[in-house]
Structure 1
Amino acid sequence: GLVGMIDRPRLEVQPAIQKARQAGVTTLMITGDHKTTAFAIGRELGIAEDMTQTLTGQEMDDIGDEDFKDRIAGYRIFARVSPEHKVRIVKALQSRGYVVSMTGDGVNDAPSLSSADIGIAMGVTGTDVAKSAADMILADDNFATIVSAIEQGRNIYSNIKKSVTFLITCNLGEVVAMFFSLLAGWNAPLIATQILWINLLTDSLPAIALGMDPGDPDIMREKPRDPGESFFAGGAGRRAALGGLSIGALTMFAFWFGHYEHGFSPGQDSVPLHVVEYARTMAFMVLVACQLYYSLAFRNSRKSVFAIGIFSNQYLIWSIVLGILLQSLLLCIPGMREAFNLQMLDLQGWGMALVLGFLPLAGSEVYKLLANARIGKDRGTGGVSPTAS
């Protein structure tokens, strides 16, 4: 008689490989199985499409190092390989600029796990030698978990970038307002206690909330980030600069308007103290409003806040509501108002603070709309659209 047996791949592996491919991550299979067997499994999983993408260890020995480095990108499956072959494959990929992650469970995988940029050992079936040589251990021995970890890692990095860029933007707005006001010969639009209040409360709460932003469902459609890439790449530096300049300019305008409403100019001598305090209140309220509302724009650099859902990050919404509430209490409670040298705003002042506060967010939404329209036009005409880093 004849008995046939097959060890089928896990059902979740093929979708995970496709998801990794969308994210710009190429999956290679390195095995000790026969070349035909390895190709059959690789084709079923979507790793390879043609037998020419399969290479054996014996065939690898016949290829010189430089030639192998030039041809390494064309192979997807390596069969009948030894530990030395695995190390050679890893080093050839690294020489082409790839960031290489290697998974393995046996003693013979230890050299390649150690040579890879990220060595991943199997936690269930892996040997102690493999675990010691690896950078991380996969607790469930599931390839799909690696792809999930890539997605989570990208979202975590994205959230950190949002929080830091938001804080830089807010602080830049304060610096711009203070520096150029003093340069113009005006009184300082903010005093130390007001700046401290902004930095401790109205800046910090949205920044923490942005760090807990839900993951972007399209993040695995982006290409891998260059390890040497600047933190401000992908337009983050430009957004921080433009946002900081606009917030600073609006704060200065509010300070000027507070004087103008009482018939004075910030550059005049002998401006009454209550007028200066009123103008500082205007600047203080506009600055805080700009920062709180503008935090919504940092949730995604390409998608509108309406596309991702205004209320999809409840932490951010509540941080904005709490910031507005604290700001209102600061202005409405006499003792607090006097401690911060503030004046109660009139109806026109409240309206001006509300309108000016929304302008940075509105400007960001218009910019995204125009940028997406341009990208859509490029795709429609066969152009190449830029990918986010």
Structure 2
Amino acid sequence: MDDNFSTIINVAKWGRSVYINIQKFVQFQLTVNVVALMVNFVSAAFTGSAPLTIVQLLWVNLIMDTLGALALATEPPSDAMMRRPPVGRGDNFITKVMWRNITGQSIYQLLVLGILLFRGDSLLQMNNNDDLLNTFVFNTFVFCQVFNEVNSREMEKINVFSGMFSSWVFSAVVTATVVFQVILVELLGTFAGTVHLSGWLWLMSVLIGSFSLVVGALIKCIPISSGDASSDRHDGYQPIPTGPSAV
């Protein structure tokens, strides 16, 4: 520390960055938890078996906790954070904006995975191959989380790609997740309980997962009341009041 005023600004900026990054991680983690729990529970209740094996759930847990924390909690601060009003002591950590994003993404993923679980065999002509269907569901689920991780970079901004490649940790984590997912499905089938997927099924998994970006953009157009986000702004920030009206 020193007596330079810019140091105070940097401390405030990094403090806000840490707080917001933790919120991003919690939003991502809750979405993964809700979807994974509901998919396995509903499938077990109606079909008698869960589509995600223990090894697959451990991999999902690794994505959700370790890799998710590395990707989202290490995002560098931006000057735009200083335009945000300070967080009050009585403010909820999980804001209405976060609940909106969690709910929207969870609904989309549950609908898609539910259709695949109960109608995927006939839609994709898998000839009652349960192992193939479960592997495809698992692969699609993981890619939904990969793209939702990108979504979680910005809780309110529609442009989630801004500054993404300036964070080498985030880029490395996403790349590593995709690479290890390919290895898990294609090379570690006996260990992970997966089978080989054709190029078409891989493409379908990626496309379904990437649609989370579109869903995320649409969700962020839903206005939130009570000061969490302005109904006519989509940059994630509200101007700090100035002038006589602010007194």
TM-score by length of 2: 0.82
Query: Aligned to 1:174, what secondary structure does the other structure show?
Result: helix
Q: Of residues 375, 380, 384 in structure 1, which corresponds to 2:232?
A: 375
In the alignment, does 2:59 pair up with 1:197? yes
| Percent sequence identity over aligned pairs | 25
Match of 1:231 in 2: 93
Q: Do 1:173 and 1:243's aligned partners in 2 also have CA atoms closer than 8 Å?
A: no
The equivalent of 1:321 in structure 2 is: 175
AA partner of residue 153 (structure 2): R
Report what 1:337 is aligned to: 189
Larger Rg, first or second structure (1 or 2): 1
Contact 1:159/1:212 (CA < 8 Å) preserved in 2?
yes
Q: Give the conservation status (yes or no) of the 8 Å contact 1:289–1:353.
A: yes
Tell me which amino acid in the other structure corresponds to 2:238: T
Cα distance in structure 1, aligned partners of 2:107 and 2:160: 24
Which is richer in helix? 2
Q: Which residue of 2 aligns with 1:288?
A: 142
Query: 1:167: how far off?
Result: 1.3
Query: Which of 1 and 2 has higher RCO (CA within 8 Å, sep 6+)?
Result: 2
- 1:188 maps onto 2:39 in alignment: no
How many residue pairs get aligned? The number is 232
Residue 254 (structure 1) aligned with residue 116 (structure 2): yes
Distance 1:376 1:325, change over 3 A: closer
Are residues 202 and 158 of structure 1, via their aligned partners in 2, closer, same or farther at CA, if it must alter by over 3 Å? closer
Q: Any idea what SS the aligned residue of 1:245 has? A: helix
| 1:181 Cα deviation from its structure 2 partner | 2.1
Separation of aligned partners in 2, 1:193 and 1:320: 20
Name the CA distance, whole Å, in 2 between partners of 1:290 and 1:146.
39
Deviation of 1:143 (Å)? 3.8
Q: 1:325 deviation in Å?
A: 0.6
Could you list the runs of 5+ residues in structure 2 that have no partner in the other structure? 224-228, 240-247
Residue 78 of structure 2 aligns with which residue?
216
Q: Extract structure 1 runs of 4+ deviating beyond 4 A.
A: 369-374
Q: d(CA) in 1 for partners of 2:70 and 2:237? A: 30
What secondary structure, in the 3-state scheme, does the structure 2 residue paired with 1:224 have? coil
Distance in 2 separating the partners of 1:203 and 1:365: 24
State the distance in 2 between where 1:230 and 1:241 align. 17
Measure the CA separation in 2 of the matches of 1:347 and 1:356: 14
Residue 166 of structure 2: SS of its match in structure 1? coil
Distance 1:307 1:374, change over 3 A: farther
Helix, strand or coil for the counterpart of 2:79?
A: coil
CA drift of 1:153 comes to: 0.6
Q: Structure 1: which 5+ runs fail to align?
A: 1-138, 265-274, 378-384
**Root-mean-square deviation over aligned CA pairs:** 2.8
